[in-house]
Amino acid sequence: MAQGCATQITRGTFQTSDGVALSILEAGREHAASSKLKIALLTGWTMPAAIWQNQLEEFGKDYHTLALDPRGQGESEIPRSGYTAERRASDLREFLQPLANVVLVGWSLGAIESLQYIHMFGADKLAGLVLVDSSVGEEPKPEGEGTFLQSLREDRDKVVDGFMRAIFAKPLPESEFQKLIQGAKRMPLEDSIALLSYPFVRTHWKEIAHAFKKPLLYAVTPQFEEQAYNLKKNRPATQIEIFKEAGHTLFVDEPERFNALVREFVAKLQK
C-alpha cells in the first residue's frame, strides 16, 4: 500500500477446493458487516491484483472491496494445473463464497472468466456486473489473437515486454514495468497460453452476457467500441462507456473517470 494512503489495504489468503493458496487484497473491511454492496475486482491475463491499487484505495473508503490474485498470478501459488475456464470460474466462486450483494468487476481475461462464473454458478451473489475492455463475443472479432500466441511461444521475453508497455497509454516508471514483466513470467509458458486458449466459440460469451438479467456496465477502449454498441443493441439495458484516450488498463490511465463511473453504477444499485 502506498504510504500516506487513508484506506488500509491488507493481504490475505484462502485455499481452494483443489488445495491451491490464492492471495487476496482487501480494503474497507470496516464496511463488511454493513448493508452496502461489496465490490470484487478480477484482474487480467498474468496480471496481479495490485493493478487495482487505486480502486482499492478509492472504493475502500465506502465499500468492502476485494481483489483476487488468480492462480499463478500476483502472490498466489503457482500450481501445475487448473488453467482452464472451468477451474478459474470455480476459484472465483470460492473467492466470492463469503460475500453477498457483490458488484463484480472483471477486466480483460477477468471479464470472460466472470461470464464463465455466471454461466456455471448463476448470478445469485451478484448485484451487478462490470466488464472492462474485453471481447464479449459480439462482432467484430478482435484481430491478432492467433499471432499473439505464436509470437509468445517464439520469444516470450520480447512479447511480454511489448505487451506490458502497450497496455498503458501513460507509461509507468521503469521499475513498475519490470515488476509486471517478471510477475507475468512466474507462470509457466504453456499455462499462460492455456489461459488465452479457452475452447469456446465466441458466441458462448455473448449468450451469457445477453442472458444476464442484472445491471451490466461495459467499459471499453476503441478496440472494443463496435462490440460495445452491438451489445447495447442486442441487450438494450446495458450501460456502455467508451474511453477513447486510454490504453487497455483504462482504470490505471484514467482512474478518476473510471472510479466515478463505477461509483455511480454501484450507487444506483444501492438504492
Interval 31-53: pLDDT, tens: 999 989 999 999 999 999 999 99
What's the pLDDT band for 6 if we cut at 50, 70, 90?
A: confident
Q: In whole angstroms, what is the distance from residue 221 CA to residue 14 CA?
A: 33
Quote the mean pLDDT of the chain. 96
Tell whether the model's pLDDT for residue 5 goes beyond 90: no
> Which CATH architecture fits 10-142+201-270?
3-Layer(aba) Sandwich (3.40)
pTM: 0.97
Amino acid 81: pLDDT: 97
- Per residue in 163-196, pLDDT tens? 999 999 999 999 999 999 999 999 999 999 999 9
Q: DSSP for 53-113?
A: HHHHHHHTTTS-EEEEE-TTSTTS---SS--SHHHHHHHHHHHHTT--SEEEEEETHHHHH
Tell whether the model's pLDDT for residue 70 goes beyond 60: yes
Query: Would you state the cell numbers that stand for residue 10, as one nine-digit string?
Result: 491488507
Tell whether the model's pLDDT for residue 1 goes beyond 90: no
Q: Could you state, in order of their start, the residue ranges of all structural domains in the chain?
A: 10-142+201-270
Q: DSSP for 19-65?
A: S-EEEEEEE-GGGTTSSSPEEEEE--TT--GGGGHHHHHHHTTTS-E
- Per residue in 74-100, pLDDT tens? 999 999 999 999 999 999 999 999 999
Amino acid 4: pLDDT: 42
Tell whether the model's pLDDT for residue 144 goes beyond 90: no
